[in-house]
Chains A and B, each alone.
Chain A
Amino acid sequence: MTTPTFARSPVTARTWPFLTDLGVGLCGLALFFAMAKLGAYWLARPVPAVTISHSIRALPLYAFYSIVRIGIAYLLSLVFAVGYGYIAAYNPRIEAWMIAVLDILQSIPVLSFLPGVMLAMMALVPSHQLGIEMGSILLIFTGQVWNMAFSFYSSLKSIPREMLEASRIYRYSAWQRFWQLEMPFAAIGLIWNSIVSVAGGWFFLIACEMFVLGERDFRLPGLGSYLQTAASANPVDMHALLWGLAVLVIIIVATDQLLWRPLIAWSDKFKFEQVESATRVTSPILALLQHSTALTRLPSRAWGAMDEQMFRRFSTTRECRVVQPVDAPDKSGKLLIPILLGSFIGLAVAWGAFKAIEMIHGVTWADVRLLLMGAGATYLRVNAALAIAALWTIPVGVTIGFNPKLARILQPITQVVASVPATALFPVLLLGLIRLGGGLGVGSIALMLLGTQWYILFNVIAGAMAIPSDLKEAASVYKFTSWQRWRTLILPGIFPYLVTGLITASGGAWNASIIAEYFHIGDKTMQTLGLGAQISAATDTGRFSILLLATVLMASMVVTMNRLVWRRLYRLAETRYKLES
């Protein structure tokens, strides 16, 4: 978008921007160096088993590697999410399919794919370190892409009809529609989902970096492996462990302050509101960046020139000369390609399924029974974790949400706390558990809780804040008892949000079970009965048949739960408990 700025910053405010410009230049240099360094590392031969140092001096480099992985995976996710959401939203014929696929992929425990993906990537790029890296990036990608894709898709679907019509009647090209309508409209959702995704990305990254498959050590130099090495050293290197955690927290806080907050503040202008709201997120960093002449002028000028070219070119296309109906019927002439593509995908899936079933051949009934028992145990654990989380987050969340002052102070803090990946805390927590003498059976519930309670808390806070104040006032005018207040106002009010939080949390808990129920610490392996433990153990011992069966079992349980319970609750929330503004 070319945006001629009318409000120029005054000349007196030029000293700071110069420094910012300088800073920007330095960042560019640093980026160049980093790229060179990464290239050399990635193209090096894979070391059979990377020795992970737990010296503090190695930390900055490890942290850098981890950040690059997250960054690349995130960018990939962003591009993919936008593409996927776009195609799904504008192709009614495959829309239902794409959303179903999204739904299933979202419910599959990503971690159980770790071994398969790693082996495949190693086979693809056998002679370089790049293979393992690609594997871990792919995994992080699969961990964070789905909710972003879904967010973009649902944003596109909820663009107000008249806005869409305006873009049609004024004959916008797809390009213009994308930049002036769709992207701005989806921006806020995309940013919030990016925050959630990147937090989830850390969770998986740390798990990936610690990965060991049977005899083969796939560990990658990074924060995750650093933490794990420190925890499994004998005796435990507490010093290194704490330093590692500290660096992780610093990175997360820095991301929040340097990236997300400026983005959120910036995205305020994309808020789809007709009246300006009183409260706004502010970001000093954003203000600083916006005053940097180099940053505001250069890209906008370069982009503007390119943009003009695009518009010039598109204005002669049919799309820009003839009004396209909003309800255009499908053109039947283009059926061939989807059919070909569909049958190709179908064949590939069938072949894969066949091969997989072949693999299961060696599984005995005893294995299956054990798996089912494990599934039952994990199921109970997941629900226990959800129940405990709901029990404490609902009252706390409502209190915070009803009290704007408290919310202002606590929300950023809880956000940072929540984005510290549970996987990084596992080693620490487990050490504590061992000291206390507790087993993983109950301990794993605590670990799941650690990863998932935040989703519920945030959603409850958001729900409580969204309850209109006139309803609250009505409740106090009519002197509702506190039970009445909860029953008729608060619980129904937060219900849709609570359901959303619970769905996310349940998915997260299943995923966490894979790490929570089975853990190497020092030279010991702690485990308990559970599906997650079985997946991890099968990974460790290289029993792919069990791994596959357990993964399928877990995925189908999650999908079934979604369909039978969550989907219905969600529909109920959408229809009965939606507060129309």
Chain B
Amino acid sequence: MQEAEVLNQSPIAAQEAIIRADKIEKYYAQPSQNRIQVISATDLKIVPGEILALLGPSGSGKSTMLRMLSGLSTPSAGQVYWHEKPIAEAEINVSIVFQSFALFPWLTVLQNVEAPLQARGVNPVERRDRSMRMLDTVGLDGFEAAYPKELSGGMKQRVGFARALVVEPEVLFMDEPFSALDVLTAENLRSELLELWAKKTMPTKAVFLVTHNIEEAVLLADRIIVLGRNPGHIRTDFKVALAQPRDRKSEPFTQLVDYIYKVLTSPDVVPAEAPDQQAGRKVRDQRQMHYQMLPHARPGGIAGLLELLLDKGGRDDIYRLADDLGFEIDDLLPIVDAAQLLGYLKIEEGDAAITLSGTEFANSEILRQKELFRAAAVGNVLLLRQIRRALEAKSDHTVPEDFFLDMLDEQFSEEECLRQMETAVAWGRYAELFDFDAGRRRFVLPDTAEDEIAGEISAGNEDAE
């Protein structure tokens, strides 16, 4: 059960929730014994790798929810956990970007960004350095000596972002961050945020966004939770599988917006399931449908990277690694991403750190490596799991490539589908999960090692049902 749930939460890697709310409630006691219930008992998880948007009408307790999850407000009942520790005792590392910016008007831009580092006792030189770099990242180069009141709204919110990101938060909370800005500025900031997120420029593992703007939620989020009011409760919780960058005019996009709009405007109706974001069909399981992007790396490359990392004591700066290898950083990143996807290494503050399973993989001889790789691939990569399962299910143990391409093209561009398939084939062949008949464009099940793999797959697939 436990295992199934963990897998369910994150297909990318078997990671636990960063923040987990366990039946949290908020109410205010009234003198006359009855109490005002703001939020009824709610379970919620913030898991690594996703942008989670909280939508709801005003009065549904969105902001209260954010404050409870970030430790700013104590739930009246229930408990919030940070990596399974009660949040009131944990040293949590989160930031909030506020609707009103909440910058200190008497401090310069730089001082505003430095202040959180000051609270952490970072020394002045490093403090300045990190802050300047962060200001650079958000495009505020040259504004460090300005006061917030000299800046436009968009610039102020950039300072807000810089201040939030300079502490390298594990979870970035955003409380209607764009609603005080004009439409164009907001659009601009949104896409820049997405860019930072996609490029992993920020070490942030999850983003929690509170908004009342449906389009904004659909544009940004990987998962959307809609709250209802009186008292606040979760009405629906679903994944958004549209690929980034998202096109506001595309049909799946507008359908999703319509769907959320319907949910919001009919508060007494039990929400229908979210529409299939590709063709308008009902979705079987949103989580199941979400293919992660396979980085285009070869298994050999992954093994090579891990071995090199091990030689360097298990941890090194990614840029330095690229230098040592004589690689362009763009060539190295897919390999790093692939290793991360398979759970072999972790990215921490720009460093690649090898994990236990990564160490085991790198230290093993070739056959054992294949076994380990197979387990990791089946456990973490949905596409490989599906191919393998399909092959097993069919009596002739062969499936045409087109079958999977059809599923992939709901999510990726045509070109990207082919590349995804290419990578999947390379990984599957290496792991001896399947073979690929390039002439007939068909997947084939190899004869060996059938039984043990079958066992692994069923373990990885319990969540699908």
Contacts and interface: CB of A to CB of B under 8 A. Distances in A.
B121 A316 contact: yes
Nearest to A316: B121
A171 B120 contact: yes
Contacts of B108: 3, 6
Interface in A305-359: 308, 311-312, 314-316, 320-323, 325-329
Interface stretch (A159-167, A484-492, A514-522): A159-167
A323 B70 contact: yes
B99 A180 contact: no
Contacts of B121: 311-312, 314-316, 320
Nearest to B117: A170
B115 interface: yes
Given A162-B102, A170-B95, 11 more contacts: A163-B102, A165-B102, A166-B98, A169-B94, A171-B116, A181-B104, A270-B106, A312-B121, A315-B119, A322-B88, A322-B91
B105 A180 contact: no
B104 A325 contact: no
8 contacts: A160-B100, A162-B100, A169-B173, A171-B119, A180-B107, A273-B149, A322-B88, A325-B88
Nearest to A328: B74
Contacts of A275: 149
Given A180-B104, A181-B104, A326-B72, A165 B96 contact: yes
A308 B102 contact: no
Contacts of A276: 149-150
Contacts of A165: 67, 72, 96, 98, 102
Contacts of A181: 104
B92 interface: yes
B116 A7 contact: no
Nearest to A269: B106
B244 interface: no
A332 to B, nearest CB: 15
A469 interface: no
A322 B89 contact: yes
B147 interface: yes
Interface of A: 1-4, 6-7, 160, 162-163, 165-166, 168-173, 176, 180-181, 184, 269-276, 308, 311-312, 314-316, 320-323, 325-329
Contacts of B94: 169, 323
A160 B102 contact: yes
B28 to A, nearest CB: 10
Contact of A327 (B73, B144, B145, B175): B73
Given A276-B149, A322-B89, A323-B92, A311 B102 contact: no
Interface string B226-250: 0000000000000000000000000
B74 A172 contact: no
A311 B105 contact: no
Nearest to B149: A276
A377 B167 CA distance: 67
Contacts of A160: 100, 102
Nearest to B118: A311
A162 B72 contact: no
B95 A6 contact: no
Nearest to B152: A275
B48 interface: no
Contacts of B116: 170-171
B139 interface: no
Pairs A-B, 8 closest by C-beta atoms:
A315-B121, A170-B116, A6-B145, A323-B71, A162-B102, A166-B102, A184-B106, A162-B98
B98 A7 contact: no
Interface in B96-150: 96, 98-100, 102, 104-108, 110-111, 115-116, 118-121, 123-124, 128, 144-145, 147-150
Contacts of B120: 171, 315, 320
Given A160-B100, A166-B98, A269-B147, A173 B119 contact: yes
Nearest to B110: A4
Contacts of A172: 115, 119
Contact of A176 (B72, B100, B118, B175): B118
Interface residues of B, number: 46
Given A165-B72, A165-B96, A275-B149, A170 B115 contact: yes
A316 B120 CA distance: 8
A166 B104 CA distance: 10
Contacts of B96: 165-166, 169
B90 interface: yes
Given A273-B149, A311-B118, A327 B74 contact: yes
Contact of B145 (A7, A171, A311): A7
A333 to B, nearest CB: 15
A373 B123 CA distance: 70
Nearest to B145: A6
A176 B111 contact: no
A160 B148 CA distance: 16
Contacts of B71: 169, 322-323, 325
Contacts of A271: 105
Contacts of A269: 105-106, 147
A320 to B, nearest CB: 6
A342 B449 CA distance: 79
Contacts of B107: 1, 180
Given A6-B144, A184-B104, A327-B74, A322 B92 contact: yes
Interface string B51-91: 00000000000000001001111100000000000011111
Contacts of A327: 73-74
Given A3-B111, A6-B145, A314-B121, A169 B72 contact: yes
Contacts of A168: 72
A3 B167 CA distance: 20
Contact of A273 (B74, B91, B105): B105
A269 B87 CA distance: 37
A276 B104 CA distance: 14
A500 B151 CA distance: 35
Nearest to A277: B149
B67 A326 contact: yes
A329 B29 CA distance: 13
Contact of B105 (A166, A274, A320): A274
B296 to A, nearest CB: 39
A229 to B, nearest CB: 48
Contacts of B105: 269-274
Nearest to B71: A323
A327 B116 CA distance: 21
Residue of B118, B149, B173, B175 with most partner-chain A CB within 10 A:
B118
A325 B73 contact: yes
Nearest to A2: B124
B95 A169 contact: yes
A170 B124 CA distance: 17
A17 to B, nearest CB: 21
Contact of A311 (B91, B111, B119): B119
A183 B106 CA distance: 11
B72 A325 contact: yes
Interface in B13-62: none
Contacts of B95: 169-170
A160 B115 CA distance: 18
Nearest to B175: A162
B104 A176 contact: no
A162 B175 CA distance: 10
Given A171-B119, A176-B119, A316-B121, A162 B147 contact: no
A162 to B, nearest CB: 4
Nearest to A322: B91
A176 B107 CA distance: 13
A578 to B, nearest CB: 20
Contacts of B72: 165, 168-169, 323, 325-326
A313 to B, nearest CB: 8
Residue of B94, B98, B167 with most partner-chain A CB within 10 A:
B98
A316 to B, nearest CB: 7
A7 B108 CA distance: 12
Contacts of A180: 104, 107, 115
